[in-house]
Structure 1
Amino acid sequence: MTAATDAREAAPEARERPRAGTGSRWRWTTRRWLSVGVAMALTVLLALGIAGGLALHRASALDRTVIEVDTPALVSAVRLESALTDQETGVRGYGLTGQESFLDPYRTGVDDQRTYTARLRTLVADDPAAGADLDEVTRQAAAWQQLIALPVVAAPPGGPVALAVERADEGKRAFDKVRAATAGLQQTLAQHRDRSRAQLRDAGRIRDRTLLLIAALILGLTAAVFAGLRRGVTRPLDQLSSDVRKVAGGSFDHEVIPTGPADLRMLAADIELMRGRMVRELAFSDAVRQQLDERARDLRRSNEELEQFAYVASHDLQEPLRKVASFCQLLERRYADQLDERAGQYIGYAVDGANRMQTLIQDLLSFSRVGRLHAETSPVDLEELFTRTADALSIAIEESGTDLSHDELPTVTGDPTQLGVLLQNLLSNAVKFRSPDRPARVQVTAARHDDGMWHFAVADNGIGIDKEFAEQVFVIFQRLHTRETYPGNGIGLALCKKIVEFHGGSIAVDTGYAPGTRITFTLPGSAAGQDPAAPEESQE
């Protein structure tokens, strides 16, 4: 207490004591230094960014023009010329032979002409010269078609078309004009593309120079920032860190010396105050730690004793079961010739039940360690687990005439034994607490919700649970009926609640469900359950 008080009184003195290097420039805080530096850097970077953005935008625009306009336009012009040539070839062949097969390239060429003309209209919409050339191609093509193509195509098939021969020279001159017009269009488009490429190269050089300038300035700015931070922040922080490490290493009498900008010096003074308080608090924490260590040792000893008790109890419980199984098997061997088939079946049930009970006792021993020791988990197919559980309860289900149905159940991650306990308790309760007024019906449902949880429900049409007891049924050893009415120990639903909550889920009674009982529970999508136990009564 004396050391802590002395440190607390000395810390303000350390803050008030004059230090070297407290000129006007050291009155600036780190925030002010950074604000001024960042503002200057941002101004420079903003100017460079605008210049670089403009250069990149121009280069990108020219690149798009070459790729998306000029080149496709030139390709379309070439294909337009090819379409017109196909028309001329088809018309000439049909005029000489009268065979309709020669009209196929003509018809294809007409369709292609419309297609590529429409495409060129779109691509050269912003180029008046190319648009005028395209209009000239269209006019010359229409003139040739009116003069030669349409009259020849309209002539009946079967022989040479006289009109084709008569207008051969005139048609050639007309189509030569078409060729000249398409050549002019292609030349205009090629020149436009070449100009765009030249502009793109120039824009690329400007862009590269701008980016190199930006890179050089950023490097220079980085070096300046690094030097400023090292002198104004890093060195004072290193000094402060060195003092703090010495204090943290156990030298609580080492004084923390304030240096650097104003806020770092204030921080050092606050740390000095904290050092004084630490001295006072350490004595108290040492005493508390000793008490905690003693309680931890007592808790470990208690847990070890509890585990040993459970282990011994389980062995004592298994001895009578081994005797039951052994004597039943001995009875079957010795009096096999005097027992009928049903008696042998009953003995088999007894032996199987005794063996299963031994397994369940071992599982209960493992369950007693839940929450204290690590529980290994593995993928659990709930569909298969449901089948095994229903088979284990088959006698009770058949005798009660219960109609048991279920949805397709998922595979989750967890301990299959404890999931078996969960299903077995819920199903056995649903069968046990059936109503005498109607045939028993039990349904298990499962659905994946948006919260990532699997939502399950076990619903029956039995006697139900009153709303006022919806929470009480999950308390261990709490019964709603006498042992004469419904046998059991009142542990089933409490055990289910422990299993579900241990795996991050929740369980509850659906108080709005009627007639009967509907138990709902959730399990995380990546987790499942733990140990098998005998079918306990959970509704008690």
Structure 2
Amino acid sequence: MTGDEKQPRARGMSAWTTRRWLRMGAAVSLVVLTLLGATGAWVLSRTESISEELVDVRTPALTTAIRLESAILNQETGIRGYGLTGTPEFLGPYRQGLAEERANHARLSRLLRGHPAGLADLKAVRTALSGWQERVARPVAAEPPGSPSRLATERAAEGKEAFDEVRAALRGQQERLRADSARTNDDLMATLVVRNWVFSAIAVLVVVLTALIFEGLRRGINEPLEQLGADARTIAGGDFDHPITPTGPADLRRLSGEIDSMRRRLVRELAFVEEARVRLDAQAADLQRSNAELEQFAYVASHDLQEPLRKVSSFTQLLQRRYGGQLDARADQYIDFAVDGANRMQKLINDLLDFSRVGRLHNAHQSVDLETVLEGTLSALSVGIEEAGATITHDPLPTLVADPTQMGMLWQNLIGNAVKFHRPDEPPKIHVTAAREGELWRFTVTDNGIGIAPEYADKIFVIFQRLHTKDVYSGSGIGLAMCKKIVEFHGGTIGVDTDYRDGARITFTLAPEPAESTGPSALPESDRSQSDRSESERSESDRSDPEPAR
């Protein structure tokens, strides 16, 4: 066969998968083992058959033939002694020999069944013995005892000749039986030799097949998988440019190719991610600078708005006190509008400042007993609670690691809203609950007030969003937005229980301890410290409202 003729076959076998190789190896092994097993079974069956022939037939037949000869000799001895002496005691061995001869003859007939030659020899012995018994043994045994038998003397020569024929038949029978026994024994020895060779060959072939199977598995599966694992570990170690070498059967080569394709795609994705990360870092730096500038602008703008607003508020109040009632009714109304607008603007700016301070100025986490915080809140709201006739109850509240100022703002806004938005014909009833849910604490504030429609459940947490006009309910629309910011700053969530219909139920969660990084501020540390100091100073200045010089 030429090299060109071998090449297509090599390509065909190289396309075999692991399953096909395993199936082929298993099929060949099963065929070889089946043939060897069949041969071994035949050898064992042959050995058993010959052994049974030798043990159950040949050896017992030879033994029985010898016993038959002994019984016949006993008959001849007894007849000869009785013929010479006429003594009846000699007939005992004769009669015993007859009984043994009949028994051994019957046994030989059974043993030699299926062996024509052996039966022919037995028949020859029987024929010769019958002639001797007919001519000599029975006539002599019939003679009267007491004196030598005349018939024995007369037929001595004939009896000797007849018994010689019996001896010859017995000798021929035993020689054949010995020859058959020896031949059977030789067959058994030869079969045992063949059996030993067959089982030795089976053992050698099993060892060879085992070695071939293990070698095939090592070369076809273990080595390719080890190579694939080594390449994968190299790639996992960071060398993403390391190629994966396909080896082994077709399916393992295909798997290696797919993993290498995944590696190449991963390299492309990593390059894209690295490029995106660089762009994101640049955008994050720009966003951080922008946030810092916006926060500084908000602080400065709030402070700059406070000063002229205080002047407007102070002068309008002074104008109201000094000239109230001296002008017409419309002028007094305009002055009232100006004073109210200035006050509301000042309150709105202060609320905005409080909203912006969450997570910046108030960020001193410590162990906070919410029972104490709630009691302080109820004390601060005692006037409004007393005026509304509100009843406030609560479950035992836990101790958390949080910012105490923010916790106070949270309870003040939630309890204040529950008291404010009550029904005109029914005093407020407010209940606070606390329960552990996994790693968080869940709190609810339930009231019997006017409630919140489900379609506004998300809107109320947006800053400046109001569901009622300021003429109906006062406020700036920042309270619940501030609650949302405080809760999220402490690792929780807040929402409205839309299934509750008998009022409003606000539910929120808080973490027992703060996360590693809290606070949304994007200011650098130095800018944030400077802004915090400025905020503190402005917060102090906001508390005073000096009257301008007249």
| Class of the TM-score when normalised by the shorter of the 2 chains | 0.3 to 0.5
- Greater RCO structure (CA 8 Å; 6+ sep): 1
